[in-house]
């Protein structure tokens, strides 16, 4: 019994001990787990806080660490998980992080930049993956004659936007129309920046662009053309009863144009005046002259000023005070750049006081003469008209009879006309005290020759003022070719040794060096003219391709001429395609004739490559220093033939006694003396010299010889009086 109880006690004790041990183990395990969870969570939290990932929510579940929360980006989520894995075993990490939902990515901005020049066509930009790039390149190769097509496009796997295909096809069409352009293609919109060969070509291109524009595509076009050449370079400004305005206006630079227009607005021009930007200005100081001339007219309140190249003409109507006129003219002369010459005139009313006698004449480059002023009487007017008709291509204007003209007036008028006849163009003003002559000439010593001619015609004591500009293009001694001769030379060379091209390409075939050498020789003294190199093809191929091919070949020739050292600054190229055949395209021979490059003269006026030189100015009095001038002429110029007679009548010198025999000039004239009011000269008169034939001497003892001579002399003097 006792042993039985002892066994039960032992069993209970064992159970109690085991239960205590179990309880202690459970408690220890739970505490250890809690410790591990807290430690792991603390370590992860601390690591994420140090990394700036404070948005992460952390909790532990046994050995596992659960990461939750909303990450700003997928990158931030990845960084949080990675950072937690650096402090605990990554296999214990449970990623429950979510990422902020983002909107679906928008498709990229599709755009193509199509750049075309003489080197070829480049395609740059981003297109949808569905775009057939090979077809684009093939279309450009087949419809243009560009030497090279460069595809630099990139693809994006997005659907093509609305109106994309229509814009691309329209852009390709533009590439066929212009040889130099930047074409920007976007969905439903095309922007073009192109350079046309001329203003006419600019208009044609704009018309074609608008005609072929699809209804669902918008166009923004900026087509520029070279500035026109204006010869002579002209500005005409006037103020009259209708107000201030331009009759013509040209400027060489935008800055100069703005200054001229601002001066016109200050002078009273209403609205927005226009002024053409052009080539051909005689000097970079053109705007300075224009502003000064407009200011002069504005200061007077009425009048007209015309600037033609470097000649400035100011005409002021009657009614303006002489003192005001003289003051403005003096200021204008000071303000004008040195290359310009001024001719100013104050008109006199027909019924007003006569004032000092005055005669003016203006001659154009076409030898058209306009005269104005007073002459002694009807007979003198007929004499002057007859003289002018013989010298000039046409004579316009009206001379007014005035019996109060001073003695020798007709002689001065004819001497002035003879002086201006030696110029290419110019004007002359004759007053009792002065002869003023200005103009252009091809004679580098024209001023000296005119001064010598005035001295010969007028004798001593006549004042003159000369302002004559030398223009080498007018110099006959240089024998410079005109524009037509230049073009004829070039076309003859091309017909004898034409430059060939590879089939359907603008690449020159063979060695063109000999032909280029001949072209270089032909272009000597011709680079100042505007010349067009026009390319032509046969009718094989499409019209667009032929036009493009002919243009590219013409430009290739111009480029080759430039590379050969030829000045082609004023040469342009143009393609006519098959539009101007010179033979039938039905035969191979005819098609070969049609495949050609022809040169064409755009303007017969040369473009100045440098400003005009200042005029040679001479002021003096006839008879003074004339011997020095004549001696200088004899040293530098060959003597005239012995039998050469000066053209026109030989006029007596003003201060010579009129012991002349009767003669006739044009109309009937009866003279008393040159110093008297009515001047009547019967011409020509030959002054005897050593070579003049004379009668044999009278025999000794002849009666009445001396008396007869004396009587004849007295009779002549009486008739002259």
* The three-state (H, E, C) secondary structure of 26-58, written as one string: HHHHHHHHHHHHHHHHHHHHHHHHHCCCCCCEE
- Residue 676 clears pLDDT 50, i.e. is over it: no
Question: What pLDDT is attached to residue 239?
Answer: 93
Report, as an integer, the average pLDDT of 649-657: 41
Closest among 385, 233, 206 to 309, alpha carbons compared: 233
**DSSP state, residue 247:** E
- Residue 712 clears pLDDT 70, i.e. is over it: no
Report, as an integer, the average pLDDT of 629-644: 42
Question: What pLDDT is attached to residue 12?
Answer: 74
Residue 80: pLDDT band with limits 50, 70, 90: confident
Greater confidence, 531 or 682?
531
Question: What pLDDT is attached to residue 350?
Answer: 57
Which segments of the chain belong to CATH 3.30.1330.60? 495-603
- Residue 283 clears pLDDT 80, i.e. is over it: yes
Closest among 564, 470, 460, 479 to 519, alpha carbons compared: 564
pLDDT in tens, 248-270: 999 999 999 999 999 999 999 99
Question: What pLDDT is attached to residue 7?
Answer: 63
How far is Cα 281 from Cα 610, in angstroms, rounded to an integer?
A: 9
- Residue 667 clears pLDDT 80, i.e. is over it: no
pLDDT in tens, 483-520: 899 999 999 999 888 788 888 888 888 889 999 999 99
Which segments of the chain belong to CATH 3.40.1520.20? 111-224
Enter the pTM of the model.
Answer: 0.53
The matching CATH number, chosen from 3.40.640.10, 3.30.1330.60, 3.10.300.10, 3.30.70.3340, for 495-603 is: 3.30.1330.60
How far is Cα 157 from Cα 154, in angstroms, rounded to an integer?
A: 10
Assigned CATH topology for domain 111-224: hypothetical protein tt1634 (3.40.1520)
Strand order in the sheet with 435-441: 394-401, 368-375, 359-363, 425-430, 435-441, 463-470, 616-621
Report, as an integer, the average pLDDT of 38-67: 81
Instruction: Return the CATH class of domain 23-99.
Output: alpha beta
Greater confidence, 589 or 218?
218
Cis peptide before 684 (omega within 30 of 0): yes
* Least confidently predicted of 56-65, 96-105, 116-125: 96-105
Report, as an integer, the average pLDDT of 328-332: 93
């Amino acid at each position: 019994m006792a042993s039985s109880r002892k066994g039960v006690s032992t069993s209970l004790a064992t159970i109690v001990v085991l239960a205590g041990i179990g309880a202690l183990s459970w408690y220890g395990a739970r505490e250890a787990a809690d410790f591990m969870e807290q430690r792991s969570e603390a370590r992860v939290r601390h690591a994420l806080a140090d990394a700036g990932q404070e948005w992460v929510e952390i909790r532990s579940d046994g050995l596992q660490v659960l990461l939750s929360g909303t990450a700003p980006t997928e990158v931030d989520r990845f960084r949080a998980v990675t950072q937690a894995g650096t402090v605990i075993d990554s296999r214990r990490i449970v990623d429950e992080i979510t990422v902020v939902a983002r909107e679906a990515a928008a498709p990229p901005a599709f755009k193509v930049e199509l750049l075309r020049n003489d080197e070829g066509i480049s395609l740059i930009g981003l297109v949808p993956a569905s775009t057939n790039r090979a077809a684009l390149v093939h279309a450009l190769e087949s419809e243009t004659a560009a030497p090279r097509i460069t595809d630099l496009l990139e693809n994006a796997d997005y659907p093509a936007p609305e109106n994309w295909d229509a814009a691309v096809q329209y852009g390709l069409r533009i590439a066929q129309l212009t040889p130099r352009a930047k074409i920007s293609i976007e969905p439903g919109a095309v922007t073009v920046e192109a350079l046309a060969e001329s203003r006419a070509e600019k208009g044609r291109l704009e018309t074609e662009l608008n005609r072929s524009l699809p209804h669902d595509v918008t166009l923004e076009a900026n087509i520029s053309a070279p500035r026109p050449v204006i010869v002579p370079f002209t500005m005409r400004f006037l103020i009259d009863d209708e107000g201030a305005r331009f009759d013509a206006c040209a400027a060489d630079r935008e800055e100069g144009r703005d200054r001229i227009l601002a001066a016109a607005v200050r002078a009273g021009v209403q609205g927005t005046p226009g002024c053409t930007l052009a080539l051909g200005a005689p000097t970079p100081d053109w705007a300075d002259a224009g502003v000064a001339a407009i200011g002069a007219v504005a200061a007077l309140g009425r009048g007209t000023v015309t600037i033609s190249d470097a000649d400035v003409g100011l005409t002021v109507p009657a009614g303006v005070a002489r003192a005001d006129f003289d003051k403005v003219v003096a200021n204008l002369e000071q303000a004008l750049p040195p290359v310009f010459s001024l001719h100013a005139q104050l008109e006199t009313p027909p019924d007003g006081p006569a004032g000092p006698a005055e005669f003016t004449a203006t001659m154009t480059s076409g030898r058209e003469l306009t005269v104005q002023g007073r002459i002694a009487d009807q007979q003198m007017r007929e004499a002057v008209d007859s003289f002018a008709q013989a010298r000039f291509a046409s004579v316009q204007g009206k001379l007014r009879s005035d019996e109060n003209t001073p003695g020798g007036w007709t002689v001065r008028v004819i001497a002035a006309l003879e002086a201006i006849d030696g110029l290419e163009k110019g004007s002359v003003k004759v007053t009792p005290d002065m002869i003023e002559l200005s103009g252009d000439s091809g004679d580098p010593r024209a001023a000296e020759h005119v001064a010598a001619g005035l001295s010969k015609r007028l004798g001593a004591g006549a004042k003159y003022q000369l302002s004559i500009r030398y223009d080498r293009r007018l110099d006959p001694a240089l024998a410079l070719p005109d524009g037509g001769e230049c073009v004829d030379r070039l076309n003859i060379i091309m017909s004898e040794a034409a430059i060939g091209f590879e089939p359907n390409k603008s690449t020159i075939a063979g060695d063109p060096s000999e032909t280029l050498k001949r072209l270089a020789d032909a272009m000597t003294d011709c680079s100042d003219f505007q010349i067009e190199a026009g390319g032509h093809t046969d009718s094989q191929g499409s019209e667009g391709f032929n036009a493009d091919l002919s243009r590219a070949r013409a430009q290739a020739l111009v480029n080759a001429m430039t590379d050969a050292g030829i000045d082609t600054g004023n040469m342009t190229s143009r393609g006519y395609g098959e539009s101007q055949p010179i033979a039938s395209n039905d035969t191979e021979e005819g098609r070969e004739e049609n495949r050609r490059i022809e040169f064409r003269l755009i303007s017969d006026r040369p473009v100045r490559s440098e400003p005009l030189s200042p005029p040679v100015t001479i002021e003096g009095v006839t008879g003074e220093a004339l011997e020095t001038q004549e001696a200088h002429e004899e040293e530098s110029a060959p003597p005239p033939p012995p039998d050469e007679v000066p053209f026109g009548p030989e006029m007596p010198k003003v201060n010579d006694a009129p012991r002349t025999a009767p003669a006739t000039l044009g109309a009937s004239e009866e003279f008393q003396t040159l110093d008297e009011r009515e001047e009547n000269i019967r011409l020509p008169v030959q002054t005897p010299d050593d070579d003049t034939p004379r009668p044999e001497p009278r025999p000794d003892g002849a009666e009445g010889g001396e008396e007869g001579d004396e009587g004849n002399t007295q009779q002549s003097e009486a008739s002259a009086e």
